[in-house]
Amino acid sequence: MSDGASTAAAKAPRPLLLIDDDRLQARMVQQQLKAFRRDQFEMEWAATFEDGLERLLSDEHEVCLLDFQLGERDGLELIQKAKEAGCTVPIVFLTAESSSDIDIRAMNAGAMDYLVKGEISASTLERSIRYALKLASTLAELNRLATHDELTGLLNRRELDRILSEEADRSARFGRPFSLVMLDLDHFKSVNDKYGHAAGDQVLQETARRISGLLRKTDRIARFGGEEIAVLLIELAEDAAAEVADRLVAEVRSTPYLLKDGTSLQITISAGLASLSHVAATADELMTAADAALYRAKSTGRDRLEVAPLREGQD
C-alpha cells in the first residue's frame, strides 16, 4: 500500500448526522456511506424532530442529512430553528417528493443541497455531501473575510458597528449593562517610523493576542482602525468593566514585545471606558463617550484608563 493510501486508510471516519423517521432509510444510508470511495463517515441516527434538533445543535457533526417529513413536523422547520440557534453544520435535504417547490424552499431555508430519496445512490450521496462541505467551507471563509480584520484576525469596524447596535438594543430592552472600552497604542507612529511597518504589524498582532487572552468568550474585540482596538464587555457594568480595562492596559505594559528580528520594544496602551446606560443611552452616545474618555487618557499621560463621566440626569 502506498504512503498516500495508508494515510487515507488511517483517517478517522467523519461524524455525520442523519435525521429521518424511517428506519429502513437509515439502514440504506448506512450501506451507501460504506461504499464511499473517498472520505469515510460514521453515521449517528436521530428518528424524531426533537432528538434531531438537539443532536444537530450539539455541533458534534461535520454534515447532516435531513428528511423532509418528520412525523407531524418537517425538516424545513428544523432548519429554521437550527439556523436561529446559530448552527453552521452543512445540511443536505432528503425528500421522497420530486418537487421543485420543495427544492427551492429547502435551499432558501439554508440547505446546501437537495436529494430525492428514490434517486439516491452511493455516488450521488457522496458527491452531494462533498459539495455541501465544500460550499459550507467557502461560505464560512467569505463570512470571515467580510467580518474580520485580515492583519489581526479581530472583528472589523463594520462587524463591530453591527454588534454594538444589537447589544445597545438588547441592553435597552432587558435592562442589562454593557460596556465599551476603546484602546489606542501609545506612540505607535514612532514604531512604524523607526522600525518599519512590518514591525508595526507585529505589534498590532501581539496586542490583539494579549488582549484577546484576557477576555471572556461572550466579549467581543475588534480592530476599530489603525492602532485602535474596541472591546465590548457584554453584561458588565462600569465597576467590573473598569477592572477588566485596567488589566488590559497592564497586560500590554507587563512584558516587552519581542519582534521577529530580535528587537525588544516596551509598548503601552491607553483606554477609555463608557457603559450603558450609566454614561450613554444609545450606541452612538456610547461610542462618543468612550472615545472622549480615551482622548483624556492620551492627553493626561497615556498608559492609563479614563472612565466616561455620568451622563446628565444619572446618579
- pLDDT attached to residue 140: 86
Domains of the chain with CATH codes:
3-146 (3.40.50.2300), 157-307 (3.30.70.270)
- pLDDT attached to residue 16: 97
Report how far residue 308's alpha carbon sits from residue 296's, in angstroms, rounded to the nearest whole number: 9
Note whether 58 and 66 are within 8 A (CB): no
Q: Locate 216 and state its grid cell.
A: 471572556
Report how far residue 122's alpha carbon sits from residue 91's, in angstroms, rounded to the nearest whole number: 17
- pLDDT attached to residue 175: 84
Q: What is the mean pLDDT of residues 175-201?
A: 94
| Strand order, beta sheet including 178-185 | 220-225, 228-234, 178-185, 269-276, 305-307
Q: From its phi and psi, is residue 86 left (phi > 0), alpha (psi between -120 and 50) or beta?
A: left
Q: Locate 97 and state its grid cell.
A: 417528493
Parallel, antiparallel, or unpaired for β 73-74 and 41-46? unpaired
pLDDT confidence of 128, banded at 50, 70, 90?
Answer: very high
| Predicted confidence (pLDDT) per residue in 133-168, tens digit | 999 999 888 888 899 999 999 999 999 999 999 988
107 Cβ contact partners less than 8 Å away, ≥ 6 residues apart: 93, 114
Residue 226 exposure: Cα atoms within 13 Å on the Cβ side:
12
Residue 8 exposure: Cα atoms within 13 Å on the Cβ side:
10
**Mean pLDDT of all residues in the chain?**
91
- pLDDT attached to residue 125: 96
pTM over 0.85, yes/no: no
| Predicted confidence (pLDDT) per residue in 17-49, tens digit | 999 999 999 999 999 999 998 889 999 999 999
- pLDDT attached to residue 8: 45
Q: What is the end-to-end Cα distance of the chain in Å, rounded? A: 76
Above 90 in pLDDT, residue 202? yes
Supply the residues annotated as catalytic: 227
pLDDT confidence of 311, banded at 50, 70, 90?
Answer: low
Note whether 249 and 191 are within 8 A (CB): no
| Predicted confidence (pLDDT) per residue in 235-273, tens digit | 998 999 999 999 999 999 999 999 999 999 999 999 999
CA 44, chain centre distance (Å): 26
Q: What is the mean pLDDT of residues 51-68?
A: 94
**Among candidate residues 243, 247, 313, 306, the one with its CA nearest the CA of residue 279:** 313
- pLDDT attached to residue 1: 43
